[in-house]
């Protein structure tokens, strides 16, 4: 089990490239199940979540080759049962359900277990599959979906108590590509990753309009073909490095970003007093630590709102920002595990039912801390860059789930970090 040792206090500067999006890659890899032809997917980040997805596809019988960010998948002959041992390791495995059901008329997928960032049900995914005509049964911890006569288009409202569902929208959209007739998804998730998946599916011959808005219309087709696709930049990795640059930077350039996808994050960083400038095309940004800083109030909400996946990292930035900041997570109100660890480093945070009240302190001090989930670990790395002394972050496997070579990228920017095998 690796840990990251961060010697705090060094200044970061220079430029790095942002990787392809993990959250776009996962459903896109799963969507290759929808055809027997070869799919070539570029800029798939080398992180453990994409590795799990590739292992699941291989276990289903797909032929997969991966070399420097490009993945070639052939699902000529696949089984309809996703193995529990692999599925249980990653909640996003649920997105093989829609494509398996559409392609095979049957899908067996384990029910995802609990998750440290809160109870994460799949009721909306199942509501969507049922509306498309699937029969759903539960047995031995598995969800068994069957549609021996194929799926039928339907009107489906995917709004849950906390708003739309990203992977639920992906699952229903993928299943509906091969359904008979027209499917309309109301209250769909409008995240850029959903749009990227729709672009991938349309490249395969699907007929999807409205992706990236709250209403997606899918006209079913008889079959889909192979496609080549380049995954969009990872807006959460970009946001994390923007926060790092604001915390400990002397001018950091991030290349291969998408300005449009970063609007809410950019706004929050500028509001707290830092400088962010994009090039004309919006594909590269320069972030500089500001001189007059102030606390900000944040509330996570579905895209184009402020992303829950950037809540922990922004909290880490606000911990040493003068003034009071109020950070609310409306999507995952229990997602504040990082706060206890940040407090061990000297942060002044009070938690109150899905809200963190942060009073900016002048200094943080290093402490041994433990990563609890992917984005919480990123927050600890950010705080450690600013802290006095050496911070050891254990359970690094959490961060390796979603950040491609984070230690190497930080080293390139001049941070003093080392990965240690324990
Ligand atoms: C995706 C992202 C994750 C991000 C989240 C919210 C991927 C691989 N993961 O997860 O990083 O934090 O979107 O932006 O893209 N819900 C239900 N019933 C359901 C499904 C969801 O009530 O059937 C609730 C959830 O508990 C949560 C909210 O809806 O409160 C949003 O979750 P959802 O968008 O589904 O998250 P994921 O798609 O799993």
Indicate the helix (H) or strand (E) that contains 372: none
Q: Which of 39, 75, 95, 115 is catalytic?
A: 115
Mutate which of 331, 334, 337, 399 for ligand 1 pocket (most atoms within 8 A of beta carbon): 331
Q: Mean pLDDT, consecutive 10-residue segments, the chain of 422 residues?
A: 93 97 98 98 97 96 96 97 88 95 96 63 94 95 93 97 94 98 98 98 98 98 98 98 95 98 98 98 98 97 98 98 97 94 97 95 94 94 96 93 96 96 86
Instruction: Please check whether residue 256 is in contact with residue 244, taking contact to mean a CB–CB distance below 8 angstroms.
Output: no
Q: Alpha-carbon distance 145 to 319, whole Å?
A: 46
Q: How many residues does the chain have?
A: 422
Q: For residue 226, report the distance from its CA to the centre of ligand 1, in Å.
A: 28
Q: For residue 12, report the distance from its CA to the centre of ligand 1, in Å.
A: 33
Q: Alpha-carbon distance 59 to 86, whole Å?
A: 9
Cβ neighbours for 51, distance < 8 A, ≥ 6 positions apart: none
Structure tokens at 152: 């039928």
132-173 tens-digit pLDDT: 999 999 998 899 999 999 999 999 999 998 899 999 999 999
Structure tokens at 393: 């972050």
Quote the pLDDT of residue 113.
61
Q: For residue 195, report the distance from its CA to the centre of ligand 1, in Å.
A: 16
Q: For residue 88, report the distance from its CA to the centre of ligand 1, in Å.
A: 16
Ligand 1: which residue has its CA nearest to atom 7?
23
**pTM: predicted TM-score of the whole model, two decimal places:** 0.97
Indicate the helix (H) or strand (E) that contains 66: strand 63-67
Question: Is the domain defined by 2-19+233-421 classed in CATH 3.65.10.10?
Answer: yes
Closest Cα partner for 286 from 257, 254, 264?
A: 254
196-246 tens-digit pLDDT: 999 999 999 999 999 999 999 999 999 999 999 999 999 999 999 999 999
DSSP type of residue 160: B
Q: Alpha-carbon distance 22 to 27, whole Å?
A: 9
Which atom from ligand 1 is nearest to the alpha carbon of 331? 30
Quote the pLDDT of residue 317.
98
Fold of 22-230: UDP-n-acetylglucosamine1-carboxyvinyl-transferase; Chain (3.65.10)
Quote the pLDDT of residue 119.
64
Quote the pLDDT of residue 361.
97
Cis peptide bond N-terminal to 309, omega within 30: no
Instruction: Please check whether residue 248 is in contact with residue 12, taking contact to mean a CB–CB distance below 8 angstroms.
Output: yes
Which atom from ligand 1 is nearest to the alpha carbon of 94? 39
Identify the burial level of 90 via C-beta atoms within 10 angstroms of its C-beta, where 0-12 means exposed, 13-18 middle and 19 or more buried: buried
Q: For residue 275, report the distance from its CA to the centre of ligand 1, in Å.
A: 31
Q: Which residues line ligand 1 (CB under 6 A)?
A: 23, 26, 92, 120-125, 160, 162, 165-168, 189, 193, 308-309, 331-332
Instruction: Give the Cβ contact number of residue 183 at 10 Å.
Output: 26
Ligand 1: which residue has its CA nearest to atom 17?
121
Domain 2-19+233-421 identical in fold to domain 22-230: yes
3-state secondary structure 359-406: ECCCCCECCCEECCCHHHHHHHHHHHHHCECEEEEECCHHHHCCCCCH
Quote the pLDDT of residue 5.
96
Annotated catalytic residue 115: yes
How far lies 175's CA from each of 138, 170, 413, in Å? 19, 9, 43
Quote the pLDDT of residue 84.
87
Domain ranges of the chain: 2-19+233-421, 22-230
């Amino acid at each position: 089990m690796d840990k990251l040792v961060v010697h705090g206090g060094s200044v970061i500067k220079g430029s790095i490239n942002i990787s392809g999006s993990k959250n776009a890659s996962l459903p896109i890899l799963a969507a290759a199940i929808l055809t027997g032809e070869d799919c070539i997917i570029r800029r798939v980040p080398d992180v453990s979540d994409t590795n799990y997805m590739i292992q699941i596809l291989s276990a289903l019988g797909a032929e997969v080759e991966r070399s420097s960010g490009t993945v070639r998948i052939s699902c000529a002959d696949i089984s309809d049962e996703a193995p529990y041992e692999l599925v249980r390791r990653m909640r996003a495995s649920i997105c093989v359900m829609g494509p398996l059901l559409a392609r095979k008329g049957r899908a067996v997928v384990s029910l995802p277990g609990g998750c440290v960032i809160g109870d994460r049900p799949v009721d909306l995914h199942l509501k969507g599959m049922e509306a498309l005509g699937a029969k759903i049964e539960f047995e031995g911890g598995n969800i068994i979906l069957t549609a021996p006569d194929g799926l039928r288009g339907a009107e489906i409202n995917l709004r849950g108590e906390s708003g739309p569902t990203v992977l639920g929208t992906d699952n229903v959209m993928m299943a509906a590509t091969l359904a008979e007739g027209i499917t309309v998804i109301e209250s769909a998730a409008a995240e850029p990753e959903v749009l990227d998946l729709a672009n991938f599916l349309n490249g395969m011959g699907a007929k999807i309009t409205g992706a990236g808005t709250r209403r997606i219309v899918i006209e079913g087709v008889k079959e889909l073909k192979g496609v080549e696709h380049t995954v969009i930049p990872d807006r959460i990795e970009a946001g994390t490095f923007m926060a790092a640059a604001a915390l400990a930077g002397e001018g950091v350039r991030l290349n291969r970003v998408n300005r449009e996808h970063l609007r809410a994050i950019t706004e929050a960083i500028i509001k707290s007093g830092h400088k962010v400038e994009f090039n004309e095309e919006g594909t590269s940004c320069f972030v500089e630590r500001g001189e007059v800083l102030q606390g900000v109030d944040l509330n996570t909400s579905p895209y184009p709102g402020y992303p829950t996946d950037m809540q922990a990292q922004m909290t880490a930035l606000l911990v040493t920002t003068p003034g009071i900041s109020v950070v609310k997570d409306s999507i995952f109100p229990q997602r504040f595990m990082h706060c206890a660890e940040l407090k061990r480093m000297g942060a002044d945070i009070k938690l109150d039912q899905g809200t963190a009240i942060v009073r900016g302190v002048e200094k943080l001090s290093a402490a041994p801390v433990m990563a609890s989930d992917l984005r919480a670990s990123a927050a600890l790395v950010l705080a450690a860059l600013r802290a006095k002394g050496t911070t050891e972050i254990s359970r690094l496997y959490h961060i390796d789930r979603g950040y491609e070579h984070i230690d190497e990228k930080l080293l390139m920017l001049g941070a003093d970090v080392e990965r240690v095998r324990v």
